[in-house]
Homo-oligomer: A and B are copies of this chain.
Amino acid sequence: MFIPTLREVPADAEAISHKLMLRAGLIRQLGAGIYSKLPLAERVMRKIERVVREEMERIGAQEFRLPLLHPAEPWKESGRWDAVDETLFRLRDRKQTDMALAMTAEEIFTTIARDGLRSYRQLPQIWYQIGAKFRDEARPKSGVLRGREFTMKDSYSFDADAAGLDVSFQKHAEAYRRIFSRCGVESIEVEASSGAMGGSESVEFMAASDAGEDWIVTCPGCGYAANLEKATSEPSAASDPADSATIEKFPTPGVRTIEDLARFQGGAPAERQIKTLVYRVDDALQLFLLRGDHELNEVKLAEITGSTRLRPAGAEECREALGALPGSLGAVGVANLSVFADLALRGRRELTTGANQDGFHLRHVDVSRDLAHANFVDLRNAREGEGCTRCGKPLELRKTIEIGHIFKLGLRYSEAMGARVLTAEGKETPIVMGSYGIGVERIMAAAIEAHHDANGIVWPRSIAPFDVVISPVKATDPEQREKSEQLYAALAEAGLDVLLDDRDERPGVKFKDADLIGVPFRIVPGPRALAKGCVELAERATGEAREIALGDVLGELRRALGR
């Protein structure tokens, strides 16, 4: 058995799951965001995949195996060939035909549905596969948590109407809850943005972890939970004067930032400033206004504008359009560009903003009076402690790993690609679709993030690479060897996954490795115990060890493992 455990790990491994997967010999890096899974990891992944298959079969899903190499054509039909950025790996074959590597498979399943489904009577269908996916992440990190190649269960539902989609969506939510629970990973369901996938509604399943890169907002009062990309909140209250003074321009030499203006004599604290951001959206510049201490949420920006091609405008673009450089920009009196203002600015008085003249600002700004041309929308990131929009209680913020994501796609793909069925009335209608993903490596990593200690991994029993390891104190001792091999054969015969550590190493080394790789149970056939017809049985999770008669080992393990 090839289990190359390590004492030291590369300095760039930060996430605990990344460190432990390297140290326990589960993975090796091949390139940026690309990892080889060694035999221990493969065993864990196959156990996870088995759980996934069982739960997908339970909701009536059928397994497919789709190509990973996609012709560009279906991606062009759906519009994603142009809409998705460099995250989609693209290549050309020997005939210079455009191709892509599977990122998800909406397009391919939709072509199969278009050709194979004719009537509402064939619906609903749930189709899935488990296999490699590719994303050329700009910043791969945290080992398998944000890799460029990973294993995903992706499924797709096909229904005749929205009510059918609701059922398929709920079935998936239930299957996902069972999958995560069976794999020993606690999941939090949050409202999420649909992003590049399109569609109307989506829910993410998150595992709380410091190694995560996704912030979620939760309300301990009413249970509201959302990805920060999507979360809304009540801003902290502002106390403005009842009346507005006349708007006034004043010189602010050297002021470039919100902080500069807060410190400037005659300036204003951040929460009394208007932050003016200029973006190029498709081909036009647009203005986005926020309270000075608030942060723009670019995902909300993309949803509001409906555009996937947006970027902050450059200094020269700003000067050309508004007559000033960033630092002195504002929206008062701007008639030629669209202006969006965050809801937290609505009705505010006595604010300060840029004057669209370098080195000048405006004060006494009254939003209702001076920015009446703005569209008021939710533009900003929610913050810890702000009020829940549903119940008013203070919101909490935490870091999580996305382990599953389910989408109501609706007609996004079926309309673009012409996937239709005949209704009972003989009318053609586009198929109503959903899509659903679970990351296999992410479950593995999230399980480690949630279950480890100073000595290594503590695998949930359901996905442990082995159920039990037999570690004779001295592998070269004939009696220990014989008893170990007998026990190995008996446990394997009974269907348990057993590892026999027959290396000629000190017990300390073997126990350390067993702890590191996290096998739930360890059996030690030592000389003293064997003399009494016993072995030591230790549990990895609790560290508890006790002597047990050789004849009782199988029964005890079966009971403990629930088999």
Contact = CB atoms under 8 A, between A and B. Distances in A.
A328 to B, nearest CB: 35
A67 B36 contact: yes
B136 A67 contact: no
B63 A39 contact: yes
A424 interface: no
Contacts of A112: 28, 36, 38
Contacts of A2: 62, 116, 122, 125, 127
Point out which of A63, A93, A122 has the most chain B C-beta atoms below 10 A from its C-beta: A93
Contacts of A39: 62-64, 127
Contacts of A99: 31
A13 to B, nearest CB: 15
A177 interface: no
A384 interface: no
Interface stretch (A68-76, A413-421, A527-535): A68-76
A42 B64 contact: yes
Contacts of A337: none
Interface in A138-181: 138, 148-149, 151
A490 interface: no
Contact of A37 (B64, B101, B116, B122): B64
A102 to B, nearest CB: 10
Contacts of A31: 67, 69-71, 73, 99
B91 A30 contact: no
Given A36-B112, A91-B90, A45 B68 contact: no
A43 B148 CA distance: 29
Interface string A98-113: 0101000000100110
Contacts of A66: 30, 36-37
A138 B95 CA distance: 9
Contacts of A237: none
- Residue from A62, A90, A127, A131 having most chain B Cβ neighbours under 10 A: A62
Nearest to A440: B65
Interface string A51-66: 0000000000011111
6 contacts: A1-B62, A30-B111, A39-B62, A46-B63, A94-B136, A132-B132
Given A42-B63, A69-B148, 16 more contacts: A1-B62, A2-B116, A2-B122, A28-B116, A30-B108, A31-B67, A31-B99, A34-B67, A34-B71, A36-B65, A39-B62, A45-B65, A67-B149, A89-B91, A93-B148, A131-B132
4 nearest A-B pairs in the assembled complex, by CB-CB distance: A91-B91, A31-B71, A37-B65, A4-B116
